């Protein structure tokens, strides 16, 4: 029951959804009574006609609070959005050029090389020095090049196997494959029949072509160690195996096949000789001795100073010449493959 200025308004609010209408009615009634003269206050109260009846239980609920629009991002106003008068969409960004991916293979049907590649990109126009300017260099296997559209010269190198060709870049991206047509070469050497050569005494030089076609000039690689793998373009190569620093050397022509590792062993026909000048057989070596080793034709193949010079000589006959205290002493000797030994020269 609700009391207002001596009047009672009875009713049971059965639905909470109608409470707003009842409160509104009570407020209007209070305002009306306050406006009437005091004499009329004793009359039977009659509700004004504009007071609404209580809502039915099944009527739609009245909203308890006004529905506000969705919030507006202040940044929209600052960026020329709502109320700015600028309704044009923002300008579209120009698409960025896509990079070109390059890969290399030993053969056309092989797998891409995973590592060890060197990619060099040159301008197609020569510089003031007459050379093509180097623009980019990347290492690895497959690489991605982000280059402005244009024409370039690309060199792909895998060890000593290389290929160069022009390349046009459009900015549309894509992939290109360089086929090197290359293989590997691994060399070793033994002395005699199968005796291993001491580490550091044997080295290899690699020349293009064969011995019949080319002289031993402009080597592709020098001082290659045994068991070192060299990457080469497919073809035939002239190999020189040097044992020591004198005249012990053997030569061979070896073919390298694309996509394969070629292993070759060269057989040295030589031996290590230690020279001694002694006063008697088996005696102590004399210091401050100058040495020369001569071929039967008189050519010198070795010169040294010391008490125990060591030299590797190819098989054959030689003459050891020792000079000590202004006296010259000689001895002839023979070198056999794989037979390392001392050669004593007796001072008489």
Whether 261 and 188 share a structural domain: yes
What b/e sequence results for 194-229 when a residue is b if at least 16 CB atoms lie within 10 Å of its CB, and e otherwise? eeebeeebbbbbbbbeeeeeeeeeebebeebebeee
Whether 3 and 57 share a structural domain: yes
**Domain span including residue 284:** 271-346
State both tokens at 36.
């009437």
Whether 196 and 263 share a structural domain: yes
Alpha helix stretches (DSSP H) within the chain: 19-35, 74-78
Handedness of CA 107, 113, 119, 121 (dihedral sign): positive
Whether 56 and 112 share a structural domain: no
> Percent of the chain having pLDDT more than 90?
64
Handedness of CA 77, 80, 84, 89 (dihedral sign): negative
pLDDT tens-digit series, residues 81-140: 444 445 555 555 655 667 889 999 999 999 999 999 999 999 999 999 999 999 999 999
Whether pLDDT at 56 is above 90:
no
- Is 151 within the bounds of a domain? yes
Whether pLDDT at 36 is above 70:
no
- Of 238, 268, 298, the residue at which a domain comes to its end is 268
> What number is the average pLDDT over the span 172-199?
92
- Of 217, 245, 268, the residue at which a domain comes to its end is 268
| Residues in CB range of 241: below 8 A, 6 or more apart | 187, 189, 202, 203, 204, 249, 250, 251, 252, 266, 268
Whether pLDDT at 58 is above 60:
no
pLDDT tens-digit series, residues 279-318: 999 999 999 999 999 999 999 999 999 999 999 999 999 9
Residue-level pLDDT at 211: 59
Domain count, the chain: 4
State both tokens at 229.
């793998």
**Confidence tier at 327 by pLDDT (50, 70, 90):** very high
| CATH of residue 116 | 2.60.40.1120
Rounded Cα distance between 311 and 247, Å, is 10
- Is 74 within the bounds of a domain? no
- Is 335 within the bounds of a domain? yes
State both tokens at 255.
């073919």
- Is 93 within the bounds of a domain? no
> What number is the average pLDDT over the span 182-203?
93
Cβ 226 vs Cβ 189: under 8 Å: yes
In terms of pTM, does the model score above 0.75? no
pLDDT tens-digit series, residues 235-245: 999 999 999 99
Whether 121 and 188 share a structural domain: no
> Counting Cβ atoms within 10 Å, is residue 106 exposed (0-12), middle (13-18) or buried (19+)?
buried
State both tokens at 203.
């080295």
pLDDT tens-digit series, residues 223-282: 999 999 999 999 999 999 999 999 999 999 999 999 999 999 999 999 999 999 999 999
- Is 258 within the bounds of a domain? yes
Whether 42 and 2 share a structural domain: yes
């Amino acid at each position: 029951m609700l009391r207002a200025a001596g009047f009672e308004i009875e009713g049971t609010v059965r639905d909470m959804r109608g409470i707003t209408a009842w409160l509104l009615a009570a407020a209007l009634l209070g305002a009306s009574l306050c406006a009437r003269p005091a004499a009329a206050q004793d009359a039977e109260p009659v509700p004004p006609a504009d007071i609404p009846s209580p809502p039915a239980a099944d009527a739609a609920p009245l909203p308890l609070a006004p529905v506000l629009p969705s919030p507006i991002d202040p940044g929209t106003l600052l960026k020329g959005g709502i109320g700015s008068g600028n309704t044009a969409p923002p300008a579209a960004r120009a698409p960025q050029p896509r990079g070109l991916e390059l890969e290399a293979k030993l053969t056309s049907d092989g797998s891409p090389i995973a590592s060890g590649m060197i990619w060099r990109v040159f301008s197609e126009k020569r510089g003031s020095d007459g050379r093509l300017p180097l623009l980019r260099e990347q290492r690895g296997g497959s690489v991605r090049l982000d280059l402005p559209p244009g024409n370039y010269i690309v060199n792909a190198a895998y060890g000593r196997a290389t290929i160069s060709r022009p390349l046009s870049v459009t900015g549309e991206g894509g992939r290109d494959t360089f086929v090197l047509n290359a293989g590997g070469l691994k060399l070793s050497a033994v002395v005699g029949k199968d005796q291993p050569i001491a580490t550091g005494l044997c080295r290899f030089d690699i020349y293009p072509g064969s011995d019949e076609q080319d002289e031993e000039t402009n080597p592709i690689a020098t001082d290659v160690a045994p068991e070192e793998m060299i990457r080469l373009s497919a073809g035939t190569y002239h190999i020189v195996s040097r044992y020591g620093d004198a005249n012990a050397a053997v030569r061979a022509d070896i073919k390298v096949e694309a996509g394969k590792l070629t292993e070759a062993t060269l057989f040295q026909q030589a031996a290590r000789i230690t020279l001694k000048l002694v006063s008697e057989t088996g005696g102590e070596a004399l210091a401050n001795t100058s040495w020369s080793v001569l071929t039967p034709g008189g050519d010198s193949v070795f010169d040294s100073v010391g008490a125990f010079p060591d030299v590797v000589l190819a098989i054959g006959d030689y003459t050891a010449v020792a000079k000590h205290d202004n006296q010259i002493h000689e001895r002839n000797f023979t070198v056999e493959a794989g037979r390392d030994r001392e050669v004593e020269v007796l001072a008489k």
